[in-house]
Amino acid sequence: MDAPSITVMVSTDRNAPTLAAVVDALARQGAGARVVREETIAAARNRALADCATDVIGYVDDDVVVGDGWLAALLDEWAGAEADVGAIGGPIAGARAAVEYGEAPLDVDAGERTLLAGNLSFRVEALRGVQGFWPMRGRRGVRDWFTEEHHAQRELSAAGWRLLYEPALRARRVGDPPTAGERFHYGARLRVGGGVRPARIAAGTVPRASAGAIVALARGDQATARARLRRAAENLGVLAGGRLARRELEPAATSTPLRHSVPAPARRRRLPRPVRAAILAYHRVADLDDDPLGMAVSPAHFAEQVAVTASSATPMPLDELVTRLAAGSLPDRAVAITFDDAYAEILAQAAPALVACGVPATVFVPTELTARREPFWWDEVSELMQAAPADAPSPLRLTAAGERRAWVARTPAQRRAARVHVHAWLQPNDGADIARALEQLGAWARRPPGPPAVATSDQVAALAAHPGFDIGAHSATHPALGVASADRQRAEVRASRDAVAEWTGRPPRAFSYPFGVPGADFDATTERIVAEAGFVHAVAMTPGPLTRRTDRYALPRHVVPDFGAERFARWLDGVLA
């Protein structure tokens, strides 16, 4: 990287008494660091990344003072870095959250160890390529081995980026050793996030360390007593802190500036007793060599799944299930099968198995794409990345909506990892930006995308004429409606409704939200627009129980995995439990 431009960010989630010393040490070297403060350290780091306009972003914690010559060494390291280097970090001395991997530079294997973001820099396009930092809640002021930077480094490594440790980048964390309370929280996180200390070992350590603290106190050895007490607290956390740690590791946001959608953590809520019923969601019924998004079930497995559903559950049309759910008259183990996107293979592969077993299904159609026989952009991404030659340029760089992201993407495994991030990144973008990104991807892969796999409008009409099949609407062009204007949402919903009515001879009663994540891909405005368009119910793409109080415009669905009969039967039992 010739003459790299670097922005240094001090990220904080508190009023740190050490902040002035941290900023002063950077200023003396001409770093001109910017301080970013948010409710969580992950949010601060993500905002800094989203705002960054340089090649490299360097993160320094609010209690880490860099050593003399740190900035010059950082510039030198990045100037000499090879094109596949995604992050460079250095040692951190001090009484807490320290890093020391020796006096020689080394490539860090993120599967075995990582670096702390208190003294860590990233290639901006690479870190954006893995969607930045996971927005974990964390604990104010805590900087340990279970914070979001470690997940980001593992994601970078999976996409092919190298991580370097450079001992010349010396820094020191100021402050006292962690308290017993902090060590308790660390132990809880160790149990949930690391799983490397068996409970039986922790159970034996607690009384021994506690006894050691008492003996040390009796001798007047305060330092040893505190150390033993902290050790006891950490192991007590391993034993008792599961729920507390899970909350700290959970996401604190449903999206970030670099991640359109973050799954919400499951919460136990007091609900009316759920019925033993479920809506199942399929996309493709096909034998795919590679399916990183988990969208396909093989034809053989699908036939087995339909047979299991017919014999062990009570399959019924979606419309009947929703009507009887509201009336409180659903039979036990009621199941409705749905398909999103109207792939052509539904007619060739899925319909015969459904007809043979007498199982009904609802197919949701993105009507404008179907009318134009336009392939889905995510299938184009998959095909291009899978078919690209081994010597395709590396890193792969794509620009969309004015932002560039990059992935090394040399090996099949690296390309699979990159594909997931590309899909998540492009999903909320408009069609023009997605088309430009596909054009760049096609040039990189040195081949155009393959033929469309969507059904024709005539095939949709023929399917609707089959007994047991219902056609629902799935928007016109399959955008993420939640990020579109109300007028755009209204146009998408109504155009899809009208096309389905024209093709099938009857207006659709059901709507499926594209991508389907509540709060990200649709919201209360979208639900109101769908209801105003005359739809009776709508389905999401997140799992959940069905009760008489379930919002009929946000019905949960369970995405079906590619399982054979026996595993599917166990999975279905779990869904219907």
251-276 per-position pLDDT tens digit: 889 899 999 999 876 655 555 567 89
What are the residue boundaries of the structural domains of the chain, listed by start? 6-173, 183-249, 277-374+454-575, 377-445
CATH, range 277-374+454-575: 3.20.20.370
Report whether 186 contacts 144 (CB < 8 A): yes
**What's the whole-model pTM score?**
0.88
Residue 268 has a pLDDT of 54
Residue 330 has a pLDDT of 95
Assign 35 to helix, strand or coil.
Answer: strand
Looking from the CA of 338 toward its CB, the CA atoms found within 13 Å total 30
Other C-beta atoms within 10 Å of 48: how many?
A: 24
Residue 126 has a pLDDT of 98
Per CATH, domain 6-173 is 3.90.550.10: yes
| Cα distance between residue 503 and residue 168, in whole Å | 68
Residue 177 has a pLDDT of 83
Using only the alpha carbons of the chain, give its radius of gyration. Answer: 27
Looking from the CA of 11 toward its CB, the CA atoms found within 13 Å total 30
| Cα distance between residue 93 and residue 476, in whole Å | 57
With 0-12 / 13-18 / 19 or more C-beta atoms within 10 angstroms meaning exposed / middle / buried, residue 140 is exposed
State pLDDT tens for residues 477-489.
Answer: 999 999 999 999 9
Report whether 18 contacts 174 (CB < 8 A): yes
Q: Which two tokens stand for residue 204?
A: 């034996």
Task: Tell whether the torsion through CA atoms of 491, 496, 498 and 499 is positive or negative.
Answer: positive
Per-residue pLDDT of the chain (577 residues; tens, 9 = 90+): 788 999 999 999 988 899 999 999 999 999 888 999 999 999 999 999 999 999 999 999 999 999 999 999 999 999 999 999 999 999 999 988 899 999 999 999 998 899 999 999 999 999 999 999 999 888 787 777 778 999 999 999 999 999 999 999 999 999 888 888 877 877 777 777 655 567 778 888 888 888 888 888 888 888 888 888 888 888 888 887 667 677 777 888 989 999 999 987 665 555 556 789 999 999 999 998 888 888 999 999 999 999 999 999 999 999 999 999 999 999 999 999 999 999 999 988 999 999 999 999 999 999 999 999 989 999 999 999 999 999 999 999 999 999 999 999 999 999 999 999 999 999 999 999 999 999 999 999 998 777 767 899 999 999 999 889 999 999 999 999 999 999 999 999 999 999 999 999 999 999 999 999 999 999 999 999 999 999 999 999 999 999 999 999 999 999 999 999 999 999 999 999 8
Cβ neighbors of 560 (< 8 A, separation 6 or more) are 280, 281, 282, 297, 305, 568, 571
Residue 140 has a pLDDT of 82
The b-or-e profile of 406-438 (16+ CB within 10 A means b, else e) is: bbbbbeeebbbbbbbbbebbbbbbeeebbeebb
Question: Cα 408–409–411 angle (5° rounding)?
Answer: 125
Question: DSSP H helical segments within 7-88, as ranges?
Answer: 19-27, 41-51, 70-79
Q: Which two tokens stand for residue 394?
A: 């590396």
Residue 3 has a pLDDT of 84
- The residue assigned the tokens 């927005």 is 135
Report whether 264 contacts 161 (CB < 8 A): no
Residue 525 has a pLDDT of 97
Residue 271 has a pLDDT of 53
